[in-house]
Structure 1
């Protein structure tokens, strides 16, 4: 039998006394609950009120425009109801935590932590529902991959990025079609690159499923690679880059939605509209490997959009008609993307906020692939992963990176929305203040 440990009389007396109630703290109270910015919450309530008014109107008489608007607002109304219900539950639990019944207090304390977590998730969902959806979010997309700075090593890694996205589409079940795959001249004699890599000049991967543009738009930007090239004899690490563009794409003429596509192509107000008079079309003989066919027929097509100087060439198919269709689809997507960028620049210049300084452009690196450290870093979301082979094979690790980038985009849109709402509120208060001041002047007279 071991002797009892010695405890001084003062400590024994202190331990014997029950803890005073004011020092007990089981969970955070409502004051520490996650709150939405007042500007966002007010915007959500205004949109929910509009949703309720439209629902009442549609019960009396149907209107296609009002029904479309109702569908757009239903996302906000549903998220706000869930958020308000969770806040009400939190208030009830907070009251129960102060009950004189010990059992009720314990039950309330057990539920508070999960309720706080639920409110955090619902606040994020409500913020995301308030951000305007990209008008092309539901469209398929074209993923263009071209080597950036870094010479031949950049060409090899461009091929790795192309295969990475193609493998990712296969893994997640997205239908993908290679529209263009062009290897640089002299690929037969060039050396270097990792296993199964070719010196890529340009590749265009079309993801055919609806919503692909919203899924991949966060991948646009400069992808940096740090690795030791196969031709490096002294083991020095080289840094190269690959440019990735993600463009919205309309379905082909033989697929569903072709009527909407044709209407948009023929609408002068559409961003996809191109006047055929502004395009110079040239027929060429295809180059590269392919036997005698590439030397005897003019199947390659080159289109030049004269106002913007955008040039698209296509030679992947033996059919001149097919090459022309693919070239026109790619040209429309590129010109539409340029028009969207110009509109965004104007909007950003008018927005008086620091967010414009933090905007990611195509010239900025968005991700780094470091072979020596077995690491891939997304510089926007700050997520690091250490399974680079799985990333390059389009595995779940790449999916985590893409999801973090999409979350970063939503967060950026939410911050921009908060700034816009605060500016509107400040301008409204300023206008009311000027009105009150004028009214006060009249009263003094």
Structure 2
């Protein structure tokens, strides 16, 4: 068996021999097939900027330059892997012309592996060029409410809350229920899972990067099943709305200035003068304390009309803290969406056409077929119980959504680059 060091020496020797190499042009064509030239050129431009700024940092440290170098580092790393794979293809193609049969076989096997990986590298490089979500590294809040479907929607909302709680437990992600309100009604059981009629719930997920992990879960989750109370055996269709909100840190030093609670230019900044606070007695079960003390808090942000109520804790102070946390997250998300909509309208890209809306159906849970379908990644999985238990099939659905989000962002980036590169008279008119 040949050693890798010996193969490397033979590679160098083979490449040193003068010969006609038609495969060089073929490799270039393959590269362009896997990665649009306009994106490859953008990557090289950004990598050149990265190297220039990194050299400047060696001479004198500057926080702004260091931040920009950090932003460009993932592009530089992805391009380095891409270029290494392309160089490897050229070398291996050269060895295919070797007179040594064993060396040709080794080169053929290695070339097959490298070609199989080139698509993954192209996608990774393309994804590194897309803007990183500003909330990606933050914790998050999952806000769950029943949609159309009456009581059946409320029951399934409780199952969705449980699904995400079980998922976090299985993955070792820190999470706790910040708010869980139910309405009067008997419990239901479906697939062995007990359900209560949920009015509203907020799941707080504390690990950094949780927003990036769960952001694809935002949207309408549709369920098709026969309720326990259905005497005729008819299938009912209901829906549950899930919002994914960024969760700011109580540690101001850990937050960038543009997300500071004290900076008026931050999307999370809320002027206390704009918020009306009301103290109320909590409703629902809880005994004499709930009935006799005004521990519940309702906050209303008057400029936007956003209202938050919190009564889960017996402590008024704790309810006020949690209400402000949720209010800031909702306002921050709305401001971010408004900025994105303005930017999308300005650049008129495919992103504005494919953007997920809160009313968009993203997933269907079909009990009769024991199936769950994600309508963005186009993935069907069977064994619905595993999905609703937060099992590995939920991982597959979430991964499929991430791939769809990356493909959408890449398509938007290509559209922007092509629009920017087109002559003024040939730019698309819409």
| TM-score where L is the length of structure 2 | 0.88
Residue 299 of structure 1 aligns with which residue? 295
Matches within 5 A, 1:278-427: 278-427=274-423
Residue-by-residue CA offset, 1:327-359 (whole Å, 9 max, x unaligned) = 011001001111111111112222333442222
Residue-by-residue CA offset, 1:41-77 (whole Å, 9 max, x unaligned) = 1110011000110111111111111111111111111
Instruction: Tell me, yes or no, if the aligned pair for 2:259 and 2:267 is still in contact at 8 Å.
Output: no
Change (3 A) 1:165 1:258: same
Partner of 2:308, secondary structure, is strand
Residue 168 of structure 1 aligns with which residue? 167
Instruction: Tell me, yes or no, if the aligned pair for 2:214 and 2:244 is still in contact at 8 Å.
Output: yes
What is the RMSD computed on CA atoms of the aligned residues?
Answer: 2.1
Instruction: Tell me, yes or no, if the aligned pair for 1:153 and 1:193 is still in contact at 8 Å.
Output: no
Change (3 A) 1:108 1:319: same
Unaligned regions of 5+ residues in structure 1, if any? 1-28, 432-445
Partner of 1:174, secondary structure, is coil
Return the alpha-carbon distance in structure 1 between the equivalents of residues 261 and 81 of structure 2.
41
Instruction: Tell me, yes or no, if the aligned pair for 2:259 and 2:266 is still in contact at 8 Å.
Output: no
Change (3 A) 1:144 1:57: same
Residue-by-residue CA offset, 1:219-245 (whole Å, 9 max, x unaligned) = 000000011100011111111000000
Residue 45 of structure 2 aligns with which residue? 46
1:125 maps to 2:124: yes
Return the alpha-carbon distance in structure 1 between the equivalents of residues 171 and 380 of structure 2.
22
Partner of 1:43, secondary structure, is helix
1:64 maps to 2:60: no
Residue 139 of structure 1 aligns with which residue? 138
Partner of 1:196, secondary structure, is strand
Return the alpha-carbon distance in structure 2 between the equivalents of residues 399 and 256 of structure 1.
33
Picking from 216, 219, 227, the partner of 2:217 is 219
Return the alpha-carbon distance in structure 1 between the equivalents of residues 37 and 258 of structure 2.
44
Partner of 1:376, secondary structure, is strand
Return the alpha-carbon distance in structure 2 between the equivalents of residues 416 and 240 of structure 1.
32
Residue 244 of structure 1 aligns with which residue? 242
Change (3 A) 1:73 1:262: closer
Return the alpha-carbon distance in structure 1 between the equivalents of residues 222 and 77 of structure 2.
41
Return the alpha-carbon distance in structure 2 between the equivalents of residues 219 and 240 of structure 1.
17
| Between 106-115 and 301-310, the greater mean CA deviation after superposition | 106-115
Matches within 5 A, 1:106-125: 106-125=105-124
Partner of 1:265, secondary structure, is coil
Unaligned regions of 5+ residues in structure 2, if any? 1-25
Residue 201 of structure 1 aligns with which residue? 199
Instruction: Tell me, yes or no, if the aligned pair for 1:224 and 1:241 is still in contact at 8 Å.
Output: yes
Instruction: Tell me, yes or no, if the aligned pair for 2:257 and 2:263 is still in contact at 8 Å.
Output: no
Considering only CA atoms, is the larger Rg found in Structure 1 or Structure 2? 1
Matches within 5 A, 1:147-166: 147-166=146-165
Change (3 A) 1:395 1:256: farther
Return the alpha-carbon distance in structure 2 between the equivalents of residues 428 and 38 of structure 1.
20
Residue-by-residue CA offset, 1:406-430 (whole Å, 9 max, x unaligned) = 1211111111111111111114797
Return the alpha-carbon distance in structure 2 between the equivalents of residues 199 and 261 of structure 1.
41
**Residue 263 of structure 1: CA displacement?**
7.6
| Between 411-420 and 197-206, the greater mean CA deviation after superposition | 411-420
Return the alpha-carbon distance in structure 2 between the equivalents of residues 318 and 262 of structure 1.
34
Residue-by-residue CA offset, 1:372-428 (whole Å, 9 max, x unaligned) = 111011100011110110110011111111111112111111111111111111147
| TM-score where L is the length of structure 1 | 0.86
Return the alpha-carbon distance in structure 1 between the equivalents of residues 128 and 410 of structure 2.
9
Return the alpha-carbon distance in structure 2 between the equivalents of residues 138 and 192 of structure 1.
37
**Residue 105 of structure 1: CA displacement?**
3.1
Instruction: Tell me, yes or no, if the aligned pair for 2:258 and 2:266 is still in contact at 8 Å.
Output: no
**Residue 40 of structure 1: CA displacement?**
0.8
Partner of 2:328, secondary structure, is helix
Work out the number of aligned pairs and report it: 399
